[in-house]
Chain A
């Protein structure tokens, strides 16, 4: 049975349709990614699945529980890492987690054990009694992840989990998610507009203007494109082109100092080409399609890599200065 099941989900805000009849399902233990530009409807979908807002129509269930009728059961079985930080800067790391533990009904002894374990896991044990105000962005994210898994959720939601983080922290978080998946079999649902991040997912759905326009494994999606681009440089491009036409029956294009070919399974064809050609080749290169190419071919536009929250910097400024609430 699927852990997340969404059927013809629609969410309208006044005249704006943020989510426009999407359907998908996520199996237990899967890392499922929602890839799309800002404003595509990713966060709205997460908010519905997390029971923060109710859908205009359609159905959504998480862990077998309906997100509207059985919101409390859904809440008990999920962990969430929101796009913007949701920590209390005026509390210590430990207190933030203790707050969470009590909200989820744990008793003192169980809470203490789980908090120590979670802090250990994200490498914040040594700083558990420091105020979160003093933490860097990466540390705050790690603490939020520790908090997200504190109640042993069946499904972990992550809304743009690595937005605004340095590459090192980003890699650390990805390593962590992989470990978590391996050790606990947790289901992860995440949104992203980072293409590299989507590559980590078992399956992705590409969403634009509130609609899912493609879904599948990253490999499947990319295989749907024409294929890999091979570039062969040679001192005699014309001779090379003629030989490839003759021996392999392909249609290469002559470019500056060589030829380019678009083929499926470039990694298998390239060695065969090199072996079979007598014209001397000076350089070879192969480019695989990226998810951006997929997005580009489906929508005719690039996924913009920009800050998801225009007020982020302002808010973090305010946080630093009035963090005590």
Chain B
């Protein structure tokens, strides 16, 4: 790879472009941050009147890891879908005729989704003190790492989907039949082990379940063994998310290469 410096530059500028545009559009930042805040304080606030705290964790605290997961899910998929926009508006051609490998394009896009997700996660972490959750530096670093892995894999998953979309019209279908079910069946809003058996099976097959559970392992470790706490050992969550990352990264590359 004599061109490693060149490819790195390309990856950097592809992700920089998306981050630049995200930061430029204040309304988009507000819009994307409004969703988790609404869920957290309106839904979470209302539900916490019904649901008793278990293991020292109240309902708002319980859904906080899920809100991080949701933020990553939406930001990653939305960022990846920009490939469809780029194709529709011709910009993808500008990228495809450049003397860079298709791999760099996919990595650049994945890094873009990851950095936009991470930026939103950082904003969300402002609420940690308000919610009465305590995290120390190692926990913060672990949280950052797990969020990053989840964001990267979900963006690759999004690229995989976007490569197969020929127009933007499919976006609503993706949102309603893929993204929303992934969110609801991830243990973000209610513990997976308390779901009806049929839904539980689907939730177990959902990679986001393990991403959210990993975050619970970091943030709600004190409630382990209760319905409010994590379900799996952290190592299982880590293994599943890592596996998901490798598989989606490989598939995203193959499918983008075929589509481009």
- A103 cross-chain contacts in B, Cβ below 8 A: 10, 13-14, 94-95, 98-100
Cβ < 8 Å to B, chain A residues 52-91: 52, 72-73, 75-76, 78, 80, 82, 84-91
Asked if B129 lies at the interface with its beta carbon under 8 angstroms from chain A, I say no
- In the bound complex, do residue B94 and residue A100 qualify as a contact, i.e. CB atoms below 8 Å apart? yes
Q: Enumerate chain A residues within 8 angstroms of B85, measured Cβ to Cβ.
A: 325
Known: A91-B21, A95-B20, A319-B89. A86 touches B94 (CB 8 A): yes
**Could you say which of A73, A84, A104 contacts B98, with CB atoms under 8 Å apart?**
A104
In the complex the two chains form, what is the Cα distance from A96 to B96 in whole Å? 15
Chain A interface bracket (under 10, 10 to 19, 20 to 34, 35 or more): 20 to 34
Q: Min CB distance, B230 to chain A, in Å?
A: 37
For chain B residues 20-48, which have a beta carbon within 8 Å of chain A? 20-21, 24-25, 28
Which one, A88, A91, A105, contacts B3 given CB within 8 A?
A: A105
Q: Which residue of B lies closest to A72 (CB)?
A: B99
Output the least CB separation between A316 and chain B (Å).
10
Chain A CB count within 10 A is highest, among B9, B21, B89, for B89
Residues in chain B near residue A318, CB distance under 8 A: 88
> Chain B 171-202 against A: per-residue CB contact (8 Å), 1 yes, 0 no?
00000000000000000000000000000000
Partner of A91, one of B20, B89, B96, B97: B20
Q: Does any Cβ of B come within 8 Å of A50's Cβ?
A: yes
Among A50, A75, A76, A82, point to the contact of B90 (Cβ < 8 A).
A82
Q: Contact between B90 and A99 (Cβ–Cβ < 8 Å)?
A: no
Question: What is the CB-to-nearest-CB distance from B28 to chain A, in angstroms, rounded to a whole number?
Answer: 7
Min CB gap B178→A, angstroms: 20
A105 touches B6 (CB 8 A): yes
User: Is A19 in contact with chain B by the CB < 8 A criterion?
Assistant: no
Residues of A within 8 A of B90 (CB): 82, 84-86
Select one of B3, B91, B96 contacting A52, CB under 8 A.
B96
Task: Check A52 against B89 for contact (C-beta < 8 Å).
Answer: no
Minimum CB–CB distance from B90 to chain A (whole Å) comes to 4
Residues on the A chain within 8 Å of B100, using CB: 103
Of residues B3, B9, B100, which shows the largest number of chain A Cβ atoms within 10 Å of its Cβ? B9
Chain B residue contacts of A91, Cβ below 8 A: 17, 20-21
Q: A68 CA to B44 CA in the complex, in Å?
A: 57
Q: How far is the CB of B227 from chain A (nearest CB, A)?
A: 41
The answer to whether A325 and B95 touch (CB under 8 A), given A90-B21, A90-B24, A99-B17, is: no
B21 and A75 contacting across the interface, CB-CB below 8 Å:
no
Please determine whether A51 and B97 come into contact, CB atoms closer than 8 angstroms.
yes
Within 8 A of B (CB), among A276-298: none
Decide yes or no: A86 and B99 within 8 Å by CB, A102-B9, A102-B12 being known contacts.
no
- Of A51, A76, A87, the residue contacting B91 (CB under 8 A) is A87
Query: How far, in Å, is B196 (CB) from chain A's closest CB?
Result: 39
- What B residues does A90 contact at CB under 8 A? 21, 24-25
Would you call B52 an interface residue if the criterion is a C-beta within 8 Å of the partner chain's C-beta atoms? no
- A50:B97 contact, CB within 8 angstroms: yes
By a CB distance below 8 angstroms, the chain A residues around B257 are none
Partner pick for A86 among B9, B13, B17, B91, CB 8 A cutoff: B91
Q: Please tell me if A301 contacts chain B, counting CB pairs below 8 Å.
A: no
**Closest-CB distance, A39 to chain B (whole angstroms):** 19
CB pair A105 B96 closer than 8 Å: no
Q: In the complex, what residue of chain A is closest to B11 when comparing beta carbons?
A: A102
Query: B residues bordering A, Cβ < 8 Å?
Result: 3, 5-6, 9-10, 12-14, 17, 20-21, 24-25, 28, 82, 85-86, 88-91, 93-100
User: What are 21 A-to-B residue pairs whose CB atoms are below 8 Å?
Assistant: A52-B93, A72-B99, A76-B99, A78-B97, A80-B97, A84-B90, A85-B89, A85-B90, A86-B94, A87-B94, A90-B25, A95-B20, A98-B13, A102-B10, A102-B12, A103-B94, A104-B98, A105-B9, A319-B89, A325-B86, A325-B89
